[in-house]
Amino acid sequence: MGASDAGEVRSTCPYCGVGCGVRISHAAGHITAVAGDETHPANFGKLCSKGLALPKTLSRSSRLLQPQVRASRGEPRVPVSWDVALDHIADRFAGSIERHGPDSVAFYISGQLLTEDYYVFNKLAKGLIGTNNVDTNSRLCMSSAVAGYKATLGADAPPACYEDLDHAACLFIAGSNMAFAHPVLYRRIEEARRKRPDLKTIVVDPRRTDTAAEADLHLAIAPGTDVALFNAMLHVLLAEKRVDRGYIEAHTEGFEPLERELSACTPEWAAGVCEISADDIRLAARWFAEGPTLSLYCQGLNQSTSGTDKNATLVNLHLATGQIGRPGAGPFSLTGQPNAMGGREVGGMANLLSAHRDLSNAAHREEVAKLWGVKSVPDKRGKTAVELFEALNEGTVRCVWIACTNPAQSMPDQALVRAALARAELVVLQDCYADIETARFADVLLPAATWGEKEGTVTNSERRISRVRAAVAPPGEARADWEIACDFAHRLGHQLGRDGERLFPYTSAEEVFAEHCETTRGRDLDITGLSYAVIEERGPQQWPFPEGAAEGLARLYTEGRFPTASGRARFHVAGYTAPAEVPTELFPLRLTTGRLRDQWHGMTRTGRAASLHDHEPEPRVTMHPEDLATRGVEDGALVRVRGPRGTLTLRARSSDEVRRGDLFIPMHWGGRFLAGGGVNALTISRYDPHSFQPELKHAIAEVEGVVLP
């Protein structure tokens, strides 16, 4: 692509899982404007403030332009060639593998990588090296939704689609501030409400977010008590004979034990646990049952030590009322990242295999080994995100390769993560920017191409696969992520005496995608009918899209058959369990975290656009006015937020949007902006035992005013 090139290419926004289509204008090697793609079925031309500001965030001043390596800790990194950098990493990885085995190395990748990047990293770890130590920041985002779907419906497949917003009579939004986190989808809800004033919205959220403030019914539950609420709602439906016995008998199993569990979950009991009124629980249950009801949910359910139970007990409500597989009805998890779905599809996590195969299934491991042409795929589950950093800290994992994510800000319990990165024998960071927190710990920096500079695909929340296209060439020596991983695989293959060239023969992202499609043949997400050419010709498509299909499926389970051994969906029996930490005398407040309207994740991108700081110019802790008053602190004063793992200093914001006893701190600001590090200096690394997703939404804390000298 020459510097004089000018024109427009269609691509996909790199932020949230709505997956909006964009038109990128470029001239003289630079992106000059971004507009919504009117033809894209996710957004029909609309973009939110973050998508519209994309050109302002593409600063090249902090871009990493050349690989850098340091010979030892304490020495500065020096610019080197790609050959020197990748040979150095291959030497160190091979040495560690030979001395300590394949599980002594690990990859920590990202839901912002494209499907093709994810595919290559997964194959590199599991196929070439022989370790399942490849996990991703999607572990912090979606893994409880995955476990919830598998426990109930038998497969990790969101059954609904965006069009269902236009057919639903009730929207049940749980643990999601869609107005900020999925704005274009929320605009669609606002339009639906204008057209259909009888459309009911219920929002379950401890905070009165912008989404909750506009709801017909806001259930401001105590943080972490969702399971008690969902169980009590089903108790009401049973007591009032509002369940669909015909659907339950024909299409599900396991309802009797659930009925027994629910007998004690009265609305009065749940009202005490959730700290809301029993009448509101009854009202929510009745609206839900009238339907069709579409549930939309995100991190409030997922980022919890009982995240799988929260997801699965919400699915119970849909199964018990037969509200699934028909227009306007179904459980619908929203993805926070642009390609958390694509990463799951290629099996790019420590407990998954390609095309939704299970690592614990010997036949599935054999299938993948055969597809890849390797002897075997290891059976031992790899280290999931928190476990990976714990293992680095213990010294059992020695070398880590981090791609397109910033764990020194985004992982919970930052003290532990930073100690782990400092202890590691080798930290490789592959990223487009050199000024993120994790770069401080990197022994090797590899310059990656970023959005607008590379080719590939992403899958959005409704299973729709869209193309991401290059509009300009990457600066300096930056390269596409999949290409860097392939080049490394060839070199490591030589060191280990394995044929890296045969396993990684790709010359384009399109070739990687074609191989990925082939691995899905006969699976629930079969996309053997897709190719770059098909997407080019027919536009973004939902999966499944098997060979010969004319289009993908908008909704799943329309026939009432589920991908379980019996073909029936399974009810999930779970009682309420409290979050990992309960308030104490020393730390009497409950901290929750979340997103703001104009920032995204750790602000690596959005933090570079001045206009995106206007909405919330600085990080603040939101507290109830009475909690501030009892501590003698005024609105806007500087406070210290102390927790068992760290302390943060920031300004207080007084608002009754939060309940008494609760605190809210946005997730976006890290150590570059906030003394003490970001909010993850305070969060806890305890995780759900099924999904391994950490409890980023709940920690204990105390607040005190800062006395200035």
Task: Give least dist CB 184 to ligand SF4, A.
Answer: 4
Are the C-beta atoms of 459 and 339 separated by less than 8 Å? yes
Site of tokens 């709602």: 233
| Closer residue to ligand SF4 (CB): 652 or 667 | 667
Count the neighbouring beta carbons within 10 Å of the beta carbon of residue 376.
13
Task: Give least dist CB 380 to ligand SF4, A.
Answer: 37
Q: Where are the beta strands (DSSP E) in 539-607?
A: 541-542, 569-570, 589-594
Burial track 424-439 (b if 16+ CB lie within 10 A, e otherwise): bbbbbbbbbbbebbbb
| Closer residue to ligand SF4 (CB): 150 or 463 | 463
Task: Give least dist CB 118 to ligand SF4, A.
Answer: 18
Please provide the DSSP assignment of 70-119 as one string: -SSTTSPPEE--HHHHHHHHHHHHHHHHHHH-GGGEEEEE-TTS-HHHHH
| Closer residue to ligand SF4 (CB): 210 or 524 | 210
Task: Give least dist CB 296 to ligand SF4, A.
Answer: 14
For residues 167 and 199, what is the distance between their CA atoms, to the nearest angstrom?
9
| Closer residue to ligand SF4 (CB): 340 or 628 | 340
| Closer residue to ligand SF4 (CB): 22 or 233 | 22
426-431 β-sheet, strand order: 78-79, 68-69, 444-447, 426-431, 399-403, 105-109, 134-136
The full length of the chain comes to 709
3-class DSSP assignment, residue 481 = helix
Are the C-beta atoms of 592 and 226 separated by less than 8 Å? no
Count the neighbouring beta carbons within 10 Å of the beta carbon of residue 145.
31
Task: Give least dist CB 483 to ligand SF4, A.
Answer: 25
Q: If 0-12 CB within 10 Å is exposed, 13-18 middle and 19+ buried, where does residue 299 land? A: buried
Task: Give least dist CB 11 to ligand SF4, A.
Answer: 11
| Closer residue to ligand SF4 (CB): 188 or 645 | 188
Handedness of CA 92, 96, 102, 103 (dihedral sign): negative
Q: Identity (one letter) of the amino acid at 567? A: G
| Closer residue to ligand SF4 (CB): 138 or 430 | 138
| Closer residue to ligand SF4 (CB): 15 or 571 | 15
Which tokens sit at 666? 């946005």
| Closer residue to ligand SF4 (CB): 39 or 558 | 39
In the chain, what is the straight-line distance between the N-terminal and C-terminal CA atoms, in Å? 58
| Closer residue to ligand SF4 (CB): 183 or 677 | 183
Site of tokens 């890296």: 500
Distances (CA, A) of 483 to 99, 350, 449, 478: 28, 22, 10, 10
| Closer residue to ligand SF4 (CB): 184 or 324 | 184
Sorted by sequence, the CB contacts under 8 Å of residue 197 that are 6+ apart come out as none
| Closer residue to ligand SF4 (CB): 30 or 597 | 597
Q: Identity (one letter) of the amino acid at 565? A: A
| Closer residue to ligand SF4 (CB): 183 or 300 | 183
* Residue 390: CA count within 13 A, CB half-sphere: 11
Task: Give least dist CB 119 to ligand SF4, A.
Answer: 22
Binding site for ligand SF4 (CB under 6 A): 13, 15-16, 18-20, 43, 47-48, 50-51, 182-184
Task: Give least dist CB 18 to ligand SF4, A.
Answer: 4
| Closer residue to ligand SF4 (CB): 184 or 424 | 184
Task: Give least dist CB 31 to ligand SF4, A.
Answer: 15
Task: Give least dist CB 457 to ligand SF4, A.
Answer: 15
Are the C-beta atoms of 437 and 408 separated by less than 8 Å? yes
| Closer residue to ligand SF4 (CB): 16 or 134 | 16
Count the neighbouring beta carbons within 10 Å of the beta carbon of residue 325.
22
What values do phi and psi take at 280, rounded to 5?
-65, -35
DSSP H/E element including 67: none
Task: Give least dist CB 183 to ligand SF4, A.
Answer: 5
Are the C-beta atoms of 406 and 438 separated by less than 8 Å? yes
| Closer residue to ligand SF4 (CB): 36 or 412 | 36
Residue nearest to ligand SF4 (CB): 51
| Closer residue to ligand SF4 (CB): 182 or 326 | 182
Task: Give least dist CB 435 to ligand SF4, A.
Answer: 22
Q: If 0-12 CB within 10 Å is exposed, 13-18 middle and 19+ buried, where does residue 514 land? A: middle
Task: Give least dist CB 602 to ligand SF4, A.
Answer: 15
Q: Tell me which residue of 481, 541, 478, 535 sits closest to 512, measured CA to CA.
A: 481
Inter-helix orientation angle 362-372/509-519, to 10°: 150
Task: Give least dist CB 47 to ligand SF4, A.
Answer: 4
Task: Give least dist CB 218 to ligand SF4, A.
Answer: 23
Dmax (CA) of the chain: 74
Question: Quick one: three-class SS letters along 611-634?
Answer: HHHCCCCCCEEEECHHHHHHCCCC
Task: Give least dist CB 205 to ligand SF4, A.
Answer: 19
Task: Give least dist CB 338 to ligand SF4, A.
Answer: 7
